[in-house]
Structure 1
Amino acid sequence: MAEPIYTDIFRCKKDSGTYQPNSPYKTNLMAELKKAQSGTGSGPIGNKADETVYVVTLCAGYLKPNDCTSCINKTIPLLLEKCPNQKGAAAWRVTCMVRYGTPVINNYDVWFLANEVSPIKAMDVALLEKSLSELVSMSLYEVKPGLRRYVYKDLGYGKNGTLHMVMQCTDDLLPNDCHKCLIHVSNEVKPCCNGAKAAAVFTPNCYIRYSLGDFREGGNRPSSITIN
Structure 2
Amino acid sequence: MKMKTIILLLHLLQIILYVANFTMAEPIYSEIFRCKKDSGTYQPNSLYNTNLESALKSLPALNSKSIGVKPNQVTAVALCAGYLNPQDCKSCVDKTIPLLLQKCPNQKGAAAWRMKCMVKYGEYAVNNYDVWFVANEVSGTKTKDVVGLQNALSSLGETLLLGLYKEQPTGYGFNNQRYGSQTLYMVMQCTGDILPNDCTKCLHHISGEIKRCCSGAIAAAILTPNCYMRYAHSDFRVL
Q: What is the aligned partner in structure 2 of residue 27 from structure 1? A: 50
Contact 1:42-1:55 at 8 Å conserved across structures:
yes
CA distance in 2 between counterparts of 1:41 and 1:134 reads 30
SS at match of 2:238: coil
Runs of 4+ in 1 over 4 A off after TM superposition: none
Distance 1:36 1:106 in 2: 17
Quick one: distance in 2 between partners of 1:63 and 1:41? 14
Confirm or deny that 1:165 pairs with 2:178. no
Q: What residue identity is the alignment partner of 2:211?
A: K
Matching residue within 162, 166, 178 for 1:156: 178
Select which of 180, 193, 200 maps to 2:221. Answer: 200
The superposition leaves residues 159-217 of structure 1 with CA deviations (integer Å, 9 ceiling, x where unpaired) of: 2x210000000111111111111101111001111110000000000000000111111
Is the contact made by 2:79 and 2:119 (CA closer than 8 Å) also made in structure 1? yes
Instruction: Could you tell me which runs of 5 or more consecutive residues in structure 2 were left unpaired when the two chains were aligned.
Output: 1-21
* C-alpha distance 107-146 of structure 1, shift in aligned 2 (>3 A): farther
2:161 is the alignment partner of 1:140: yes
- Residue 175 in 1 paired to residue 199 in 2? no
1:94 alignment partner in structure 2: 115
Matches within 5 A, 1:39-78: 39-47=61-69, 49-78=70-99
Provide the C-alpha distance between the structure 2 equivalents of 1:5 and 1:40, rounded to a whole number of angstroms.
28
How far is 1:157 from its partner?
2.1
Question: How many percent identity over aligned positions?
Answer: 59
Q: Please state how far the C-alpha of 1:107 moved relative to its aligned partner.
A: 1.5
Structure label with greater radius of gyration: 2
Paired position in structure 1 for 2:29: 6
Q: TM-score, normalised by structure 1?
A: 0.90
Alpha-carbon RMSD across the aligned residues, in angstroms, is 1.5
Indicate conservation of the 8 Å contact 1:185/1:201, yes or no: yes
Corresponding residue of 1:224: none
How far, CA to CA, are the matches of 1:190 and 1:40 in structure 2?
34
Cα distance in 1 for partners of 2:130, 2:195 equals 12
Higher RCO (Cα < 8 Å, 6 or more apart): 1
State the Cα deviation string for residues 13-36 of structure 1 (Å, max 9, x = none).
011010000110000001111111
Secondary structure at the aligned position of 2:189 is classed as strand
Query: Which residues of 2 match residues 211-226 of structure 1 at below 5 A?
Result: 211-217=232-238
Structure 1: unaligned runs, 5 residues or longer: 219-228
TM-score (norm: length of structure 2): 0.86
Contact 1:4 1:117 in 2 (8 A): no
Determine the C-alpha separation between the residues in 2 that align with 1:119 and 1:63. Answer: 26
Count how many residue pairs are aligned between Structure 1 and Structure 2: 215
| Residue 222 of structure 1: aligned partner | none
Which residue matches 1:81?
102
Q: Alpha-carbon deviations, 1:61-88, whole Å to 9, x = none?
A: 0111111111001100000000001000
Between 137-146 and 91-100, report the one with greater CA deviation.
Answer: 137-146
